[in-house]
């Protein structure tokens, strides 16, 4: 088995198998994950990172596949990180995005990583940001992140990418209800996908009206772009909107502030994980089961159970 140093050296040479193994170590938090992040983090910050979210059926995978081909015409390397929902029982995932993006597998300049969200809410898995960070350090020019597509609370993507594209489609019932306050507030670009269908212009008007009624979080004017993967219409407009947002965010300081917010969240998550592991290592399993039994028998309430498990010294 190759060491982390050997994997990093091979990955920097562009070897797909080495990159995939590095991502697996990071995603599964295997021994060496921290070493990989320490070695790669100083080399991050160059890639264009774009996220795609929205309700199921909005055509995220197909649009990402089409965009991947378009970006490959202007940059050498594109990576796709596609997150699929996992089973609450087995933890497994179908990873159907691999099927929808099968046309991209023949392109040696494209790297596709499918991930399970492992039950994590927010549309991504806990390791998505770290996976994107490693891909950035490995020299990919563009990284496209596709979220699960679960609804209005799918906002974690804003902490992973530079530009968030929120998709909807015409003729799918109450389009506005599907992307109302919560998720729409994180959108940097609004996309009416499958715009070759009837009702696309009405969907655009509704989104513009919603934007006009809301209170913007900054002075970026969120554009509404119509796209169609079938015809290719709007793909260049979408790429242009992403580039304009990237330039605005860089020049105005938004990119730096967003990165600081994301790093704060990442550090806090790592701290929580480490503290929890240390507590679990210090805790007597038999004592835990005893306390659980007391709660079940109504001898303790859940808050009292926590006090009993942590003890007075830790509570302070």
Cα–Cα distance measured from residue 229 to residue 94, given in angstroms and rounded to the nearest whole number: 23
Residue 229 confidence class, pLDDT cut points 50, 70, 90: confident
Structure tokens at 148: 């699960």
At 11-31, the pLDDT tens digits run 999 999 999 999 999 998 899
Q: φ, ψ for residue 130 (rounded to 5)?
A: -65, -40
pTM of the shown model:
0.85
Q: Which residues pair with 190 in a beta bridge?
A: 166, 224
User: What's the pLDDT score for residue 89?
Assistant: 43
282: number of Cβ within 10 Å? 10
Q: Which residues pair with 41 in a beta bridge?
A: none
What 8-state DSSP symbol labels residue 191?
E
At 87-143, the pLDDT tens digits run 444 444 445 555 556 666 678 899 999 887 654 544 466 788 899 999 999 999 999
Scan for tokens 């796209």, then name that residue.
227
Cα–Cα distance measured from residue 108 to residue 72, given in angstroms and rounded to the nearest whole number: 10
Structure tokens at 211: 């934007």
């Amino acid at each position: 088995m190759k060491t982390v140093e050997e994997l990093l050296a091979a990955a920097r040479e562009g070897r797909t198998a080495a990159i995939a193994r590095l991502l697996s170590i990071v995603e599964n938090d295997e021994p060496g994950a921290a070493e990989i992040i320490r070695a790669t983090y100083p080399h991050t910050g160059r890639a264009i990172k774009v996220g795609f979210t929205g309700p199921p059926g909005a055509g995220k995978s197909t649009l990402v596949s089409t965009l991947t081909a378009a970006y490959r015409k202007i940059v050498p390397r594109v990576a796709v990180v596609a997150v699929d929902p996992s089973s609450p029982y087995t933890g497994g995932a179908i990873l159907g995005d691999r099927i929808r993006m099968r046309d991209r597998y023949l392109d040696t300049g494209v790297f596709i990583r499918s991930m399970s969200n492992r039950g994590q809410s927010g549309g991504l898995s806990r390791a998505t940001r770290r996976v994107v960070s490693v891909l950035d350090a490995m020299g990919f020019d563009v990284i496209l992140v596709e979220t699960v597509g679960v609804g209005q609370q799918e906002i974690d993507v804003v902490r992973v990418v530079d530009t968030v594209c929120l998709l909807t489609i015409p003729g799918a019932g109450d389009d506005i209800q599907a992307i109302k306050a919560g998720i729409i507030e994180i959108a940097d670009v609004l996309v009416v996908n499958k715009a070759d269908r009837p009702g696309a212009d009405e969907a655009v008007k509704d989104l513009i009206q919603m934007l006009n009624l809301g209170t913007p979080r900054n002075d970026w004017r969120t554009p509404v772009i119509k796209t169609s993967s079938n015809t290719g219409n709007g793909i260049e407009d979408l790429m242009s909107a992403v580039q304009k947002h990237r330039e605005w965010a860089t020049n105005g300081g938004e990119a730096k502030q967003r990165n600081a917010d994301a790093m704060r969240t990442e550090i806090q998550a790592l701290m929580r994980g480490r503290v929890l592991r240390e507590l679990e290592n210090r805790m007597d399993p038999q004592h835990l089961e005893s306390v659980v039994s007391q709660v079940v028998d109504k001898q303790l309430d859940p808050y009292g159970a926590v006090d009993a498990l942590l003890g007075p010294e830790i509570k302070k």
